[in-house]
Amino acid sequence: MQYDTVIHGGTVVTPHETFKADVGISDGRIVALAEHLPGGERRIDAGGRLVLPGGIEAHCHIAQESSSGVMTADDYYSGSVSAAFGGNSCFVPFAAQHRGQSIADVIATYDGRAAPNSVIDYSYHLIISDPTPAVLEELPGVFQRGITSFKVFMTYDLMNIGDGGMLDILTVAKSHGALTMVHAENNEMVKWMNRRFAATGLTAPKYHALSRPELAEEEAINRAVSLAKLVDAALFIVHVSTRGGAEIVRREKLAGTKLFAETCPQYLALTRADLDRPGMEGAKYICSPPLRDHATQEVLWQHIRSGTFESVSSDHAPYRADATGKFLNGRDAPYPKIANGMPGIAMRLPYLFSEGVAKGRITLGDFVRLSSSNAARVFGLDRKGAIAPGFDADIAIWNPEETRTVTLDMQHDNMDYTPFEGMEINGWPELVMNRGRIVVEKGMLKANAGDGRFVARKPVDTGAMPGYRAVEFEIAAQFGQEVAP
Protein backbone atom coordinates (compact mmCIF):
# COMPACT_ATOMS: atom_id res chain seq x y z
CA MET A 1 0.00 0.00 0.00
CA GLN A 2 1.20 3.50 -0.80
CA TYR A 3 1.14 6.12 1.95
CA ASP A 4 1.28 9.88 1.78
CA THR A 5 3.23 9.89 5.05
CA VAL A 6 4.79 7.29 7.31
CA ILE A 7 5.77 8.19 10.87
CA HIS A 8 8.34 5.60 11.84
CA GLY A 9 10.39 4.58 14.84
CA GLY A 10 8.20 6.26 17.44
CA THR A 11 6.32 5.10 20.52
CA VAL A 12 2.58 5.31 19.99
CA VAL A 13 0.52 6.21 23.06
CA THR A 14 -3.19 5.48 23.38
CA PRO A 15 -5.39 5.86 26.47
CA HIS A 16 -4.67 2.25 27.38
CA GLU A 17 -1.47 1.10 25.64
CA THR A 18 2.02 2.30 24.80
CA PHE A 19 3.87 0.47 22.02
CA LYS A 20 6.44 0.85 19.26
CA ALA A 21 4.78 1.22 15.87
CA ASP A 22 4.87 2.98 12.54
CA VAL A 23 1.85 5.03 11.46
CA GLY A 24 0.72 5.10 7.83
CA ILE A 25 -1.31 8.09 6.61
CA SER A 26 -3.23 8.59 3.35
CA ASP A 27 -5.75 11.25 2.34
CA GLY A 28 -5.65 12.82 5.78
CA ARG A 29 -6.54 9.61 7.62
CA ILE A 30 -4.59 7.04 9.59
CA VAL A 31 -4.78 3.87 7.52
CA ALA A 32 -2.23 1.53 9.10
CA LEU A 33 -0.33 0.71 12.31
CA ALA A 34 2.44 -1.86 12.17
CA GLU A 35 5.87 -2.71 13.54
CA HIS A 36 7.35 -1.57 10.25
CA LEU A 37 5.73 0.22 7.31
CA PRO A 38 7.79 0.72 4.14
CA GLY A 39 7.35 3.53 1.67
CA GLY A 40 5.61 6.83 2.16
CA GLU A 41 6.05 9.92 0.01
CA ARG A 42 7.29 11.53 3.20
CA ARG A 43 8.89 9.61 6.05
CA ILE A 44 9.02 11.26 9.47
CA ASP A 45 11.56 9.87 11.91
CA ALA A 46 10.00 9.75 15.39
CA GLY A 47 12.80 7.76 16.99
CA GLY A 48 13.03 8.51 20.71
CA ARG A 49 9.77 10.43 20.50
CA LEU A 50 6.17 9.87 21.59
CA VAL A 51 3.43 9.74 18.93
CA LEU A 52 0.21 11.00 20.50
CA PRO A 53 -3.22 12.07 19.32
CA GLY A 54 -3.19 15.80 18.68
CA GLY A 55 -4.57 17.80 21.57
CA ILE A 56 -8.20 18.91 21.50
CA GLU A 57 -8.66 22.22 23.31
CA ALA A 58 -12.32 22.22 24.29
CA HIS A 59 -12.49 25.40 26.37
CA CYS A 60 -11.12 28.64 24.91
CA HIS A 61 -12.33 32.13 24.04
CA ILE A 62 -11.26 33.20 20.55
CA ALA A 63 -12.39 36.36 18.71
CA GLN A 64 -15.11 36.69 21.36
CA GLU A 65 -16.57 39.79 22.99
CA SER A 66 -17.24 39.60 26.69
CA SER A 67 -20.65 40.64 28.01
CA SER A 68 -19.14 44.07 28.77
CA GLY A 69 -17.84 44.44 25.20
CA VAL A 70 -14.15 43.57 25.61
CA MET A 71 -12.77 41.66 22.61
CA THR A 72 -10.22 38.94 23.22
CA ALA A 73 -6.73 39.63 21.92
CA ASP A 74 -6.62 36.45 19.84
CA ASP A 75 -8.52 36.01 16.61
CA TYR A 76 -8.91 32.64 14.90
CA TYR A 77 -5.52 32.95 13.23
CA SER A 78 -3.37 33.81 16.26
CA GLY A 79 -5.46 31.62 18.55
CA SER A 80 -5.20 28.57 16.33
CA VAL A 81 -1.47 29.12 15.74
CA SER A 82 -0.88 29.36 19.48
CA ALA A 83 -2.95 26.22 20.05
CA ALA A 84 -0.95 24.33 17.42
CA PHE A 85 2.41 25.32 18.90
CA GLY A 86 1.08 23.91 22.17
CA GLY A 87 0.43 20.47 20.67
CA ASN A 88 -3.23 20.89 19.63
CA SER A 89 -4.64 19.87 16.28
CA CYS A 90 -8.27 20.89 16.91
CA PHE A 91 -10.10 23.32 19.15
CA VAL A 92 -13.66 24.21 20.14
CA PRO A 93 -13.98 27.90 21.05
CA PHE A 94 -17.21 29.58 22.11
CA ALA A 95 -19.68 31.41 19.89
CA ALA A 96 -21.28 33.84 22.31
CA GLN A 97 -24.83 35.08 22.10
CA HIS A 98 -25.50 38.40 23.78
CA ARG A 99 -28.87 39.71 24.87
CA GLY A 100 -31.16 40.35 21.92
CA GLN A 101 -29.13 38.37 19.35
CA SER A 102 -30.58 35.60 17.26
CA ILE A 103 -28.66 32.36 17.09
CA ALA A 104 -28.45 32.64 13.30
CA ASP A 105 -26.63 35.96 13.66
CA VAL A 106 -24.23 34.49 16.23
CA ILE A 107 -23.27 31.54 14.05
CA ALA A 108 -22.87 33.71 10.96
CA THR A 109 -20.59 36.07 12.89
CA TYR A 110 -18.31 33.29 14.11
CA ASP A 111 -18.25 31.52 10.75
CA GLY A 112 -16.93 34.76 9.30
CA ARG A 113 -14.25 34.94 11.96
CA ALA A 114 -13.17 31.30 11.90
CA ALA A 115 -13.33 29.93 8.36
CA PRO A 116 -10.84 32.31 6.69
CA ASN A 117 -8.37 32.26 9.56
CA SER A 118 -8.01 29.04 11.53
CA VAL A 119 -4.95 26.89 10.78
CA ILE A 120 -6.44 23.86 12.59
CA ASP A 121 -9.86 22.23 12.63
CA TYR A 122 -12.49 23.85 14.81
CA SER A 123 -16.05 23.65 16.04
CA TYR A 124 -18.08 25.83 18.42
CA HIS A 125 -19.78 25.65 21.77
CA LEU A 126 -22.72 28.05 21.66
CA ILE A 127 -23.08 30.40 24.65
CA ILE A 128 -26.71 31.12 25.48
CA SER A 129 -27.40 34.28 27.49
CA ASP A 130 -30.93 35.08 26.29
CA PRO A 131 -33.05 31.91 26.10
CA THR A 132 -36.22 33.49 24.72
CA PRO A 133 -38.87 31.25 23.11
CA ALA A 134 -37.60 32.35 19.68
CA VAL A 135 -34.04 31.39 20.60
CA LEU A 136 -35.12 28.00 21.92
CA GLU A 137 -36.87 27.36 18.60
CA GLU A 138 -33.59 28.03 16.76
CA LEU A 139 -31.56 25.48 18.72
CA PRO A 140 -32.62 22.32 16.85
CA GLY A 141 -31.18 23.77 13.64
CA VAL A 142 -27.90 24.42 15.43
CA PHE A 143 -27.79 20.79 16.61
CA GLN A 144 -28.45 19.56 13.06
CA ARG A 145 -25.44 21.50 11.88
CA GLY A 146 -23.27 19.61 14.38
CA ILE A 147 -22.97 22.19 17.15
CA THR A 148 -23.98 19.83 19.92
CA SER A 149 -22.88 21.67 23.06
CA PHE A 150 -23.49 25.04 24.59
CA LYS A 151 -22.66 26.97 27.70
CA VAL A 152 -24.75 28.83 30.25
CA PHE A 153 -23.77 31.02 33.18
CA MET A 154 -24.93 31.13 36.78
CA THR A 155 -23.04 34.37 37.44
CA TYR A 156 -22.48 37.79 35.75
CA ASP A 157 -25.69 39.83 35.51
CA LEU A 158 -25.51 40.11 31.71
CA MET A 159 -25.03 36.35 31.26
CA ASN A 160 -26.87 34.70 34.16
CA ILE A 161 -30.01 33.01 32.84
CA GLY A 162 -31.42 31.93 36.22
CA ASP A 163 -32.58 28.50 37.32
CA GLY A 164 -35.71 28.57 35.16
CA GLY A 165 -33.71 29.46 32.08
CA MET A 166 -31.32 26.62 32.83
CA LEU A 167 -34.17 24.14 33.09
CA ASP A 168 -35.51 25.27 29.71
CA ILE A 169 -32.08 24.92 28.11
CA LEU A 170 -31.40 21.54 29.73
CA THR A 171 -34.76 20.22 28.54
CA VAL A 172 -34.17 21.27 24.92
CA ALA A 173 -30.63 19.90 25.07
CA LYS A 174 -31.80 16.53 26.35
CA SER A 175 -34.36 16.15 23.56
CA HIS A 176 -31.62 16.60 20.93
CA GLY A 177 -28.71 14.79 22.57
CA ALA A 178 -26.82 18.01 23.27
CA LEU A 179 -24.52 18.73 26.19
CA THR A 180 -24.99 21.76 28.45
CA MET A 181 -21.83 23.29 29.91
CA VAL A 182 -22.12 25.55 32.94
CA HIS A 183 -20.02 28.21 34.65
CA ALA A 184 -21.09 27.53 38.22
CA GLU A 185 -20.73 30.33 40.78
CA ASN A 186 -23.46 31.73 43.02
CA ASN A 187 -24.09 35.20 41.60
CA GLU A 188 -25.66 36.68 44.72
CA MET A 189 -22.82 35.51 46.98
CA VAL A 190 -20.28 37.16 44.70
CA LYS A 191 -22.22 40.41 44.42
CA TRP A 192 -22.71 40.53 48.19
CA MET A 193 -18.98 40.05 48.77
CA ASN A 194 -18.19 42.75 46.20
CA ARG A 195 -20.44 45.25 47.97
CA ARG A 196 -18.84 44.54 51.35
CA PHE A 197 -15.31 44.82 50.00
CA ALA A 198 -16.10 48.03 48.12
CA ALA A 199 -17.58 49.60 51.27
CA THR A 200 -14.27 49.16 53.08
CA GLY A 201 -12.03 50.10 50.14
CA LEU A 202 -10.78 46.58 49.42
CA THR A 203 -10.72 46.89 45.64
CA ALA A 204 -7.12 46.00 44.67
CA PRO A 205 -6.61 42.93 42.43
CA LYS A 206 -5.55 40.76 45.38
CA TYR A 207 -9.09 40.93 46.79
CA HIS A 208 -10.65 39.41 43.68
CA ALA A 209 -9.95 35.83 44.80
CA LEU A 210 -11.44 36.42 48.24
CA SER A 211 -14.55 38.00 46.73
CA ARG A 212 -15.51 34.76 45.00
CA PRO A 213 -15.66 32.25 47.88
CA GLU A 214 -15.16 28.53 47.45
CA LEU A 215 -18.70 28.13 48.76
CA ALA A 216 -20.01 30.17 45.83
CA GLU A 217 -18.65 27.57 43.41
CA GLU A 218 -19.67 24.59 45.52
CA GLU A 219 -23.25 25.78 45.99
CA ALA A 220 -23.67 26.53 42.31
CA ILE A 221 -22.23 23.18 41.21
CA ASN A 222 -24.62 21.39 43.55
CA ARG A 223 -27.54 23.46 42.24
CA ALA A 224 -26.59 22.97 38.59
CA VAL A 225 -26.35 19.21 39.10
CA SER A 226 -29.73 19.18 40.83
CA LEU A 227 -31.34 21.08 37.96
CA ALA A 228 -29.84 18.70 35.41
CA LYS A 229 -30.93 15.66 37.43
CA LEU A 230 -34.51 16.92 37.62
CA VAL A 231 -34.81 16.61 33.83
CA ASP A 232 -32.16 13.86 33.53
CA ALA A 233 -30.01 15.93 31.14
CA ALA A 234 -26.28 15.68 30.55
CA LEU A 235 -24.18 18.41 32.18
CA PHE A 236 -20.55 19.50 31.95
CA ILE A 237 -19.08 21.58 34.81
CA VAL A 238 -16.33 23.81 33.45
CA HIS A 239 -13.20 24.99 35.31
CA VAL A 240 -13.73 23.31 38.70
CA SER A 241 -11.38 25.07 41.14
CA THR A 242 -12.33 23.80 44.60
CA ARG A 243 -12.06 20.69 46.74
CA GLY A 244 -15.79 20.77 47.48
CA GLY A 245 -16.73 21.19 43.83
CA ALA A 246 -14.57 18.26 42.78
CA GLU A 247 -16.04 16.11 45.55
CA ILE A 248 -19.59 16.85 44.34
CA VAL A 249 -18.61 15.84 40.81
CA ARG A 250 -17.01 12.60 41.99
CA ARG A 251 -19.97 11.71 44.21
CA GLU A 252 -22.54 12.33 41.49
CA LYS A 253 -20.58 10.46 38.83
CA LEU A 254 -20.35 7.44 41.13
CA ALA A 255 -24.12 7.65 41.54
CA GLY A 256 -24.60 7.47 37.76
CA THR A 257 -25.50 11.10 37.11
CA LYS A 258 -24.95 12.19 33.50
CA LEU A 259 -22.11 14.47 34.50
CA PHE A 260 -18.75 15.54 33.10
CA ALA A 261 -16.21 18.07 34.38
CA GLU A 262 -12.83 19.70 33.84
CA THR A 263 -10.23 21.73 35.68
CA CYS A 264 -7.55 24.03 34.27
CA PRO A 265 -3.75 24.46 34.50
CA GLN A 266 -3.99 27.83 36.24
CA TYR A 267 -5.62 26.18 39.24
CA LEU A 268 -2.70 23.74 39.40
CA ALA A 269 0.14 26.20 38.70
CA LEU A 270 -0.89 29.43 40.45
CA THR A 271 -2.43 30.56 43.74
CA ARG A 272 -4.27 33.61 45.02
CA ALA A 273 -0.90 34.92 46.22
CA ASP A 274 -0.13 35.69 42.55
CA LEU A 275 -2.76 38.43 42.66
CA ASP A 276 -0.81 40.18 45.43
CA ARG A 277 1.89 41.63 43.19
CA PRO A 278 3.26 45.20 43.05
CA GLY A 279 1.11 47.87 41.51
CA MET A 280 -1.50 46.41 39.18
CA GLU A 281 0.55 43.34 38.17
CA GLY A 282 -1.91 41.19 40.07
CA ALA A 283 -4.59 42.10 37.52
CA LYS A 284 -2.93 39.70 35.08
CA TYR A 285 -3.99 36.83 37.32
CA ILE A 286 -7.66 37.74 37.69
CA CYS A 287 -9.86 34.93 36.43
CA SER A 288 -13.15 33.42 37.54
CA PRO A 289 -13.47 31.14 39.37
CA PRO A 290 -10.39 32.60 41.04
CA LEU A 291 -7.06 31.06 41.93
CA ARG A 292 -7.08 29.18 45.23
CA ASP A 293 -4.20 27.80 47.36
CA HIS A 294 -1.53 25.08 47.43
CA ALA A 295 -3.66 22.65 49.44
CA THR A 296 -6.40 22.86 46.82
CA GLN A 297 -3.86 22.22 44.05
CA GLU A 298 -2.86 18.92 45.62
CA VAL A 299 -6.50 17.86 45.93
CA LEU A 300 -7.18 18.75 42.29
CA TRP A 301 -4.19 16.63 41.21
CA GLN A 302 -5.67 13.72 43.17
CA HIS A 303 -8.95 14.14 41.30
CA ILE A 304 -7.14 14.35 37.97
CA ARG A 305 -5.33 11.12 38.74
CA SER A 306 -8.47 9.30 39.91
CA GLY A 307 -10.62 10.25 36.90
CA THR A 308 -12.98 12.86 38.36
CA PHE A 309 -12.21 15.18 35.43
CA GLU A 310 -12.58 14.32 31.75
CA SER A 311 -10.11 16.98 30.73
CA VAL A 312 -7.69 19.69 31.75
CA SER A 313 -8.60 22.66 29.54
CA SER A 314 -6.97 26.05 29.23
CA ASP A 315 -9.98 28.39 29.50
CA HIS A 316 -7.79 30.63 27.31
CA ALA A 317 -9.26 34.12 27.79
CA PRO A 318 -6.63 36.47 26.33
CA TYR A 319 -7.06 40.03 27.54
CA ARG A 320 -3.94 42.14 27.24
CA ALA A 321 -2.68 44.10 30.25
CA ASP A 322 -3.52 47.40 28.59
CA ALA A 323 -6.48 49.62 27.70
CA THR A 324 -7.77 47.09 25.12
CA GLY A 325 -8.15 44.37 27.72
CA LYS A 326 -7.60 44.21 31.46
CA PHE A 327 -7.57 48.00 31.88
CA LEU A 328 -10.40 49.02 29.57
CA ASN A 329 -11.81 50.90 32.59
CA GLY A 330 -8.48 52.47 33.53
CA ARG A 331 -5.33 51.25 35.24
CA ASP A 332 -6.71 52.12 38.67
CA ALA A 333 -10.03 50.30 38.16
CA PRO A 334 -11.37 48.26 41.10
CA TYR A 335 -11.09 44.50 40.60
CA PRO A 336 -14.77 43.99 39.50
CA LYS A 337 -14.05 46.31 36.55
CA ILE A 338 -10.93 44.42 35.40
CA ALA A 339 -11.42 41.92 32.57
CA ASN A 340 -11.58 38.33 33.79
CA GLY A 341 -9.34 35.71 32.25
CA MET A 342 -5.81 34.59 31.46
CA PRO A 343 -4.05 33.22 28.38
CA GLY A 344 -2.81 29.65 28.32
CA ILE A 345 -3.76 27.80 25.14
CA ALA A 346 -0.12 27.13 24.20
CA MET A 347 0.88 26.07 27.71
CA ARG A 348 -2.00 23.73 28.60
CA LEU A 349 -0.37 20.54 27.32
CA PRO A 350 3.33 21.31 27.99
CA TYR A 351 2.41 22.20 31.58
CA LEU A 352 0.26 19.09 32.01
CA PHE A 353 2.99 16.88 30.53
CA SER A 354 5.74 18.42 32.64
CA GLU A 355 3.91 18.56 35.96
CA GLY A 356 1.84 15.46 35.35
CA VAL A 357 3.75 12.86 33.33
CA ALA A 358 7.35 13.97 33.97
CA LYS A 359 6.76 14.25 37.72
CA GLY A 360 4.90 10.95 37.98
CA ARG A 361 1.51 12.36 38.92
CA ILE A 362 -0.23 10.83 35.89
CA THR A 363 0.59 8.21 33.26
CA LEU A 364 1.05 8.74 29.54
CA GLY A 365 -2.35 7.12 29.04
CA ASP A 366 -3.87 9.62 31.47
CA PHE A 367 -2.25 12.43 29.50
CA VAL A 368 -3.82 11.21 26.26
CA ARG A 369 -7.23 10.97 27.90
CA LEU A 370 -7.01 14.42 29.51
CA SER A 371 -5.54 16.14 26.47
CA SER A 372 -7.51 14.61 23.62
CA SER A 373 -9.43 11.34 23.68
CA ASN A 374 -11.93 12.26 26.41
CA ALA A 375 -12.75 15.57 24.72
CA ALA A 376 -13.31 13.74 21.44
CA ARG A 377 -15.64 11.26 23.14
CA VAL A 378 -17.59 13.74 25.26
CA PHE A 379 -18.01 16.42 22.59
CA GLY A 380 -18.76 14.12 19.67
CA LEU A 381 -15.55 14.48 17.63
CA ASP A 382 -15.86 10.91 16.47
CA ARG A 383 -12.94 10.95 13.99
CA LYS A 384 -10.45 12.55 16.35
CA GLY A 385 -8.64 11.74 19.58
CA ALA A 386 -7.12 8.38 18.65
CA ILE A 387 -4.14 6.84 16.86
CA ALA A 388 -6.10 4.16 15.01
CA PRO A 389 -7.04 3.30 11.40
CA GLY A 390 -9.97 5.36 10.15
CA PHE A 391 -9.32 8.35 12.38
CA ASP A 392 -8.14 11.75 11.18
CA ALA A 393 -4.37 11.97 11.13
CA ASP A 394 -4.36 14.50 13.97
CA ILE A 395 -1.03 13.69 15.57
CA ALA A 396 1.45 15.36 17.91
CA ILE A 397 5.01 14.07 18.17
CA TRP A 398 6.47 14.89 21.59
CA ASN A 399 10.08 14.97 22.74
CA PRO A 400 9.85 13.87 26.39
CA GLU A 401 13.45 14.93 27.03
CA GLU A 402 13.27 18.51 25.81
CA THR A 403 13.45 21.14 28.55
CA ARG A 404 12.36 24.75 28.06
CA THR A 405 11.99 27.87 30.16
CA VAL A 406 8.66 29.53 29.37
CA THR A 407 8.79 32.94 27.70
CA LEU A 408 6.17 35.12 26.07
CA ASP A 409 7.56 34.74 22.56
CA MET A 410 7.06 30.96 22.55
CA GLN A 411 3.28 31.43 23.03
CA HIS A 412 2.69 32.67 19.44
CA ASP A 413 -0.44 34.52 20.55
CA ASN A 414 -1.39 38.21 20.58
CA MET A 415 -0.80 38.65 24.28
CA ASP A 416 1.66 40.88 26.14
CA TYR A 417 2.23 38.43 29.02
CA THR A 418 2.01 34.77 29.98
CA PRO A 419 1.19 33.71 33.55
CA PHE A 420 3.59 30.78 33.07
CA GLU A 421 6.61 33.05 32.47
CA GLY A 422 9.87 31.56 33.77
CA MET A 423 8.54 28.09 34.55
CA GLU A 424 10.78 25.13 33.68
CA ILE A 425 8.96 22.67 31.44
CA ASN A 426 10.04 19.10 30.69
CA GLY A 427 8.60 17.65 27.49
CA TRP A 428 7.58 19.55 24.36
CA PRO A 429 5.65 18.94 21.10
CA GLU A 430 8.01 19.01 18.11
CA LEU A 431 5.53 18.31 15.32
CA VAL A 432 1.77 18.77 15.06
CA MET A 433 -0.31 17.36 12.24
CA ASN A 434 -3.97 18.05 11.38
CA ARG A 435 -5.62 15.65 8.92
CA GLY A 436 -2.19 14.66 7.66
CA ARG A 437 -1.07 18.27 7.08
CA ILE A 438 1.95 19.40 9.07
CA VAL A 439 0.93 22.51 11.00
CA VAL A 440 4.00 22.99 13.21
CA GLU A 441 7.41 21.36 12.81
CA LYS A 442 10.50 22.10 14.90
CA GLY A 443 9.35 25.56 15.89
CA MET A 444 8.15 26.59 12.42
CA LEU A 445 4.58 27.23 11.30
CA LYS A 446 3.85 25.21 8.15
CA ALA A 447 0.11 25.87 7.77
CA ASN A 448 -1.85 28.76 6.30
CA ALA A 449 -4.84 30.76 7.46
CA GLY A 450 -8.03 28.97 6.45
CA ASP A 451 -6.52 25.47 6.33
CA GLY A 452 -8.67 24.39 9.29
CA ARG A 453 -12.14 23.03 8.68
CA PHE A 454 -15.34 23.24 10.67
CA VAL A 455 -16.08 19.88 12.32
CA ALA A 456 -19.69 18.83 12.76
CA ARG A 457 -20.01 16.91 16.01
CA LYS A 458 -22.18 14.01 17.13
CA PRO A 459 -24.62 14.05 20.08
CA VAL A 460 -23.22 13.43 23.55
CA ASP A 461 -22.92 9.74 24.44
CA THR A 462 -24.28 9.00 27.93
CA GLY A 463 -25.14 5.37 27.23
CA ALA A 464 -23.12 4.03 30.15
CA MET A 465 -24.62 6.52 32.61
CA PRO A 466 -27.92 5.40 34.15
CA GLY A 467 -28.90 8.97 34.97
CA TYR A 468 -31.65 10.05 37.35
CA ARG A 469 -35.42 9.75 37.15
CA ALA A 470 -37.22 12.20 39.46
CA VAL A 471 -39.82 10.32 41.48
CA GLU A 472 -42.24 13.22 40.99
CA PHE A 473 -42.53 12.36 37.31
CA GLU A 474 -43.21 8.74 38.23
CA ILE A 475 -45.94 9.76 40.70
CA ALA A 476 -47.62 11.90 38.06
CA ALA A 477 -47.75 8.89 35.76
CA GLN A 478 -49.68 6.94 38.40
CA PHE A 479 -52.54 9.41 38.10
CA GLY A 480 -52.98 8.52 34.46
CA GLN A 481 -50.99 11.28 32.82
CA GLU A 482 -47.25 10.92 32.55
CA VAL A 483 -45.23 14.12 32.84
CA ALA A 484 -42.05 13.95 30.77
CA PRO A 485 -39.08 16.02 31.86
pLDDT in tens, 189-221: 999 999 999 999 999 999 999 999 999 999 999
What's the pLDDT score for residue 438? Answer: 98
Q: Is the pTM of this model over 0.85?
A: yes
| CA dist., res. 46 & res. 402, Å (int) | 14
What's the pLDDT score for residue 30? Answer: 98
Residue 246's nearest CA partner among 266, 267, 231 is 267
| CA dist., res. 382 & res. 90, Å (int) | 13
How is residue 3 annotated by DSSP?
Answer: -
What mean pLDDT is predicted for residues 248-253? 98
What's the pLDDT score for residue 473? Answer: 81
| Confidence bin at 69 (pLDDT 50/70/90) | confident
| CA dist., res. 20 & res. 205, Å (int) | 50
**Residue 44 is inside which H or E element, if any?**
strand 42-45
Greatest CA separation found in the chain? 74
The values of phi and psi at residue 475, to 5°, are -65, -40
| CA dist., res. 261 & res. 247, Å (int) | 11
Among 175-189, 235-249, 322-336, 466-480, name the one with the lowest average pLDDT.
466-480
What's the pLDDT score for residue 68? Answer: 81
| CA dist., res. 139 & res. 132, Å (int) | 11
Strand ranges for 259-379 from DSSP E: 259-263, 311-312
- Cβ contacts of residue 480 below 8 Å, gap of 6+? none
What's the pLDDT score for residue 478? Answer: 66
What's the pLDDT score for residue 132? Answer: 94
Homologous superfamily assigned to 55-369: Metal-dependent hydrolases (3.20.20.140)
What's the pLDDT score for residue 458? Answer: 97
The answer to whether 284 touches 331, Cβ cutoff 8 Å, is no
| Confidence bin at 484 (pLDDT 50/70/90) | low
| Confidence bin at 472 (pLDDT 50/70/90) | confident
